[in-house]
């Protein structure tokens, strides 16, 4: 019994010591800016829709480079935790993984605005907390999917001082958008370009926020560069079954329609490869023919063109902040809900996979104390953004956050390189969409796109581990295989016996045990999952866990992930055994030390 008590004491002391360090990992190694009025920083958050990092979309945005990249910090290892619009946005604004929000799809019964409301989240997300901290809050653009002309007032989205939301079913109809302001009825902007409409509303809210004389948060969520979506039913304000909608390339403003005529999807090693890759339905995809590639290149060009209006939006917002003389006291955050693939791994245009193109996304932050022209490879995720924004506002953090505030000073960033966690949980449920050409062998939807995955990025390793609901496994070593072309766990691949200089099976055992914890983690366990496996607190990384002293534990005690069945949403009983921490089991184990 004494051994167990010592173990528990060590775990408790470790968590207390770590808690005392969290200030350095917050956005500032500064005291929270808790003054009144204009002394507190403003926050502008620009959230695009489906913007890629790996197809170089940022290279075509000169104003983003001028105002944000050159005056802020770029986070190159930033990830969404679910590569699908609504679940990702809910995780971003709540600081919780999708398995804890239970918003896992874009529409009911498993997702969308009605699910967000039914889960009680309309009173438990960022704008509500910011208002409680004395901030005025404003938002224009897309909030969530299924936030529609039928549901916008059932109830109204809480927490906004001023709002002007894009509403379904017109959200992705670039030339026929519908916005809904505050408590007013929806208004159609047919014939006007959606992003330009939003830009006018953004500047209006900036002026309104300035005149109010209080610190403010302004969220701007243009639809670009999401695909254009239409249906005959949309013309009458009616919704369509997902199988009836028509996906098309994004639409640009007319002034940008001539740009980038020679641009093509980057021909990386994983673009339309001769050899299949991945697992599950992805591995069965055929190689794309010339007509599909030509269409996909056009789709790519249209994405770049659509982003030009976003780039101009960034410029106009920064210039207005300068005119109001508040730019130096304003944090500007630029990101997207999820990434995008076009042609990689033979995939047609879409997202929803765990490949790097879909989950590794832009994050750029500028503001007081943030290093300029700086890039960092610390691991961050969308669940970290709500804690970060509350830290900026000087508001108290919640103890149920699944994420950790992102450091925003040079000292904090330097410390995080050695002290911050190295993992990101990635998860998805339901279908995988095809937003490009529909073919007999590539339909608009692929079922059973349910999986659990994680990225683990340390100084000597860079891994993706994934388990599908059909219990196929994937493992990629991105250090040697950045395009994720060689699934080390697929029987068709050449046998690999070692990874990281160790037996492959040993590494996989650790990874599987870690993902077993993360797939249902909550709060602190999501941030420090190794402590759940090793409550003594002396394991904080994969490197630590690979110590030979833990071999027996992982061989005999650790559990593995196994789905019982595939489901379209988060149904825990379909996902096999769940992790339950019980350090007192060590009391009965003569090898108790292997738990610590």
Tokens of 342: 């076009």
Query: Which tokens go with 499?
Result: 């990874």
* H-type alpha helices, 403-469: 410-419
With H, G, I as helix, E, B as strand and everything else as coil, classify residue 247.
Answer: strand
For residue 3, give every residue at least 6 positions away whose Cβ sits within 8 Å of its Cβ, in sequence order, or none.
586, 587, 592, 593
Contacts of 186 (CB under 8 A, 6+ apart): 149, 152, 167, 178, 179, 180
User: Are 42 and 215 in contact, with CB atoms under 8 Å apart?
Assistant: yes
The conformation of residue 234, written as its DSSP 8-state character, comes to: G
| Length in residues, the chain | 596
Residues 6 or more apart whose CB falls under 8 angstroms from that of 256 comprise 305, 306, 308, 309
In contact, 372 and 71? CB cutoff 8 Å: yes
Residue 85 is among the residues annotated as catalytic for this protein: yes
Burial 509-535 (b: 16+ CB within 10 A, else e): bbbbbbbbbbbbbebbbbbbbbbbbbb
- Tell me the sheet residues that pair with 164: 140, 181
Rounded Cα gap, residues 240 and 285, in angstroms: 28
Strands 42-48 and 162-166, by their bridges, are unpaired
In the set 80, 85, 521, 566, the catalytic residue is: 85
Alpha helices in 120-237 (DSSP H): 126-132, 194-212
- Here the tokens at position 105 are 């799809």
How far is the C-alpha of 466 from the C-alpha of 176, rounded, in Å? 40
3-class DSSP state for residue 268?
A: coil
Pairing of strands 461-468, 473-477: antiparallel
Distances (CA, A) of 571 to 119, 297, 469: 15, 38, 12
Q: Which residues are catalytic?
A: 85
């Amino acid at each position: 019994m004494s051994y167990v008590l010592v173990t528990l004491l060590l775990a408790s002391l470790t968590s207390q010591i770590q808690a005392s360090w969290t200030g350095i990992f917050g956005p500032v190694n500064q005291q929270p800016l808790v003054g009144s009025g204009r002394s507190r920083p403003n926050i502008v958050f620009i959230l695009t829709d489906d913007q890629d990092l790996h197809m170089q979309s940022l290279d075509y945005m000169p104003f983003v480079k001028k105002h944000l990249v050159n005056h802020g910090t770029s986070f190159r290892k930033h990830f969404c935790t679910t590569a699908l619009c609504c679940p990702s946005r809910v995780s971003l604004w709540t600081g919780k993984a999708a398995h804890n929000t239970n918003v896992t799809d874009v529409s009911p019964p498993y997702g969308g605005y009605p699910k967000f409301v039914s889960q009680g989240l309309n009173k438990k997300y960022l704008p509500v907390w910011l208002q409680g901290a004395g901030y005025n809050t404003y938002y224009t653009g897309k909030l969530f999917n299924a936030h529609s002309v039928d549901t916008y007032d059932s109830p109204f989205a809480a927490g906004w001082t001023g709002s002007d939301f894009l509403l379904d079913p017109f959200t992705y109809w670039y030339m026929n958008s519908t916005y809904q302001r505050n408590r007013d009825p929806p208004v159609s902007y047919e014939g006007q370009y959606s992003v330009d409409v939003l830009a006018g509303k953004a500047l209006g809210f900036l002026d309104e926020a300035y005149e109010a004389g209080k610190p403010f948060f302004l969220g701007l969520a243009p639809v670009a560069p999401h695909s254009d979506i239409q249906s005959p039913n949309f013309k009458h304000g009616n919704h369509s079954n997902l199988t009836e909608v028509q996906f098309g390339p994004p639409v640009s403003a007319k002034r940008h329609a001539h740009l980038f005529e020679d641009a093509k999807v980057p021909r990386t090693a994983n673009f339309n490869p001769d050899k299949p890759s991945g697992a599950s339905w992805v591995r069965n995809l055929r190689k794309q023919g010339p007509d599909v590639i030509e269409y996909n290149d056009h789709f790519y060009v249209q994405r770049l063109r659509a982003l030009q209006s976003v780039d101009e939006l960034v410029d106009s917002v920064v210039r207005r902040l300068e005119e109001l003389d508040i730019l130096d006291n304003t944090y500007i955050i630029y990101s997207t809900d999820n990434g995008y693939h076009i042609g990689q791994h033979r995939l047609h245009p879409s997202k929803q996979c765990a490949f790097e193109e879909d989950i590794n996304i832009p994050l750029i932050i500028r503001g007081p104390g943030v290093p300029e022209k700086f890039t960092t490879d610390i691991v961050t995720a969308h669940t970290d953004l709500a804690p970060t924004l509350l830290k900026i506002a000087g508001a108290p953090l919640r103890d149920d956050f699944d994420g950790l505030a992102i450091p925003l000073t040079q000292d904090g960033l330097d410390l995080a390189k050695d002290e911050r966690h190295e993992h990101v949980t990635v998860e998805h449920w339901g279908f995988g969409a095809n937003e490009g050409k529909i073919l007999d062998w590539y339909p608009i939807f692929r079922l059973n796109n349910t999986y659990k995955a994680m990225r683990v990025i340390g100084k000597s390793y860079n891994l993706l581990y994934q388990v599908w609901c059909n219990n196929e496994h994937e493992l990629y070593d991105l250090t040697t295989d950045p395009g994720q072309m060689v699934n080390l766990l697929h029987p068709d691949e050449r046998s690999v016996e070692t990874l990281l200089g160790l037996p492959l099976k040993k590494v996989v055992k650790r990874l599987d045990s870690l993902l077993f914890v993360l797939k249902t983690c909550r709060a602190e366990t999501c941030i420090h999952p190794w402590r759940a496996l090793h409550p003594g607190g002396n394991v904080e990384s994969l490197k630590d866990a690979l110590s030979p002293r833990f071999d027996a534990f992982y061989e005999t005690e650790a559990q593995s992930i196994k789905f019982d069945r595939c489901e379209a949403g988060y149904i825990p009983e379909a996902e096999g055994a769940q992790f339950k921490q019980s350090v007192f089991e060590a009391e009965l184990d003569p090898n108790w030390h292997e738990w610590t």
